[in-house]
Structure 1
Amino acid sequence: MSAVRSKICGITRIEDALAAVEAGADAIGFVFYAKSPRAVTFEQARVIVKALPPFVTTVGLFVNASDQELREILGAVPLDLLQFHGDESAEACESWQRPYIKALRVKAGDDIVAACEAYPGASGILLDAYVEGIPGGTGEAFDWSLIPQGLSKPIILAGGLTPDNVAEAVARVRPYAVDVSGGVEASKGIKDHDKIQAFIKAVRG
């Protein structure tokens, strides 16, 4: 199996971004959703992105953002990948003509195959825990056995991952990548650099 990639999401500080890169993270995520405790402004994100070395994917997370907000952020921050976490249609996601991933919140009874197929232009599908009224970043894991085999898109596994359970998650789900935010924090929006190291080591182990 090829190496599983890691994304550290909810980055709000340069030192946390650089610690993630140092530990071997493939991607850094910025939350452009005002209700999140990990939200950043485009000014904050732009400063952090400028500090990154090459070959690190920068990802912007959006939840039902307006076209105006997206235009403003995309004009200001050089993002490599867009991550849509709301009720965005495939047409809305594709209208920006940028690589994107679509987040799906998983609960029992969902047709994940059909949900994946509804976003044919997506680079990948991110699977997160379903928690009523919260679009993501809940720190809750979901039942990984709900994920069907042989999905048509690369799968990014999120939801309640920590340095303690990510090795098991990788072994069971065999995702293309894993995405962590709360599981490597000292407090909301502030990363614990030792936890980041331990997380990526566990993914690679």
Structure 2
Amino acid sequence: MFVKICGLRDEESVAAALEAGADAIGFVIAPSVRQVSVAQAARLAESVRGKAWCIAVTRQPPVTVVDEIFDAFAPDLLQTDQGDVSSLPPRAQERVLAVYREHELIPDRLPACLLFEGSQSGVGQTANWTLAKKLVARTRLLLAGGL
């Protein structure tokens, strides 16, 4: 099992997630009630490096924001919707965790690993378990939403 905890905004929460055994911490750069700035993510990530992966959680990020994320924060992975991947700069495409949603068409060819969730991020909605079971037979899968 691989556990990624997202939406943490302070050092105490990050420390608690690490102590609980989180494998990755997702810092939400996308607009959200749990959003942090790139600078905040970089600062919070200092205590995470070497203990867990740092993931920049985005959605339809402009190239300028992606560049800022990689220059100032340097995450292990950039999480964004699968439809965003082709518009990312090459350095981001090499370290992307693509998000696939249950209402979207799932292509025949899948990446080596993907994140699968319900139709909307950040609302605690559980993904379609039947479809998740089919996907896990085809690729490495991270489940998100409502867990």
Once the two structures are superposed, what CA deviation does each residue of 1:45-66 show, in whole Å capped at 9, x if it has no partner? 1111112352310000111111
Separation in 1, partners of 2:95, 2:30 = 19
**In the alignment, is the contact (CA less than 8 A) between 2:116 and 2:127 conserved in 1?**
no
Q: Which AA in structure 1 matches 2:23? A: D
1:143 aligned residue: 128
Tell me how far apart the structure 1 counterparts of residues 60 and 100 of structure 2 sit (CA, whole Å).
13
2:40 equivalent in structure 1: 44
Indicate the SS of the match to 1:88: helix
Aligned-partner SS, 2:45? helix
Whether contact under 8 Å (1:128, 1:158) holds in the other structure is yes
Q: How many residues align?
A: 144
1:159 match:
145
What is the TM-score when the length of structure 2 is the normalising length? 0.87
Higher relative CO (CA 8 A, sep ≥ 6), structure 1 or 2?
1
| TM-score, length-scaled by structure 1 | 0.64
Segments of structure 2 that go 5 or more residues without pairing to the other structure are none
Pairwise CA distance, 1:142: 2.8
Task: Provide the identity percentage.
Answer: 30
Among candidates 90, 94, 101, match of residue 95 of structure 1? 90
Shift of 1:99: 1.9
Q: 1:13 to 1:68 in 2, by over 3 A?
A: same
Structure 1 letter corresponding to 2:142:
I
Answer yes or no: is the 8 Å Cα contact 2:127–2:143 preserved in 1: no
* Alignment match, 1:106: 102
Amino acid across the alignment from 1:128: E
Query: Where in structure 1 do 4 or more consecutive aligned residues deviate above 3 Å?
Result: none
Distance change >3 Å, CA 159–CA 139, structure 1 → 2:
same
Aligned to 1:14: 11
Read off the aligned partner of 1:25 and give its amino acid letter. A
Question: SS of 1:52's equivalent?
Answer: coil
- After superposition, the C-alpha distances for 1:31-86 in whole angstroms (9 at most, x for unaligned) are 1112x111100111111111235231000011111111110121001211111136
Are 1:62 and 1:84, in contact at CA under 8 Å, matched by a contact in 2?
A: yes
Cα gap change, 1:56 to 1:130, in 2 (>3 Å): same
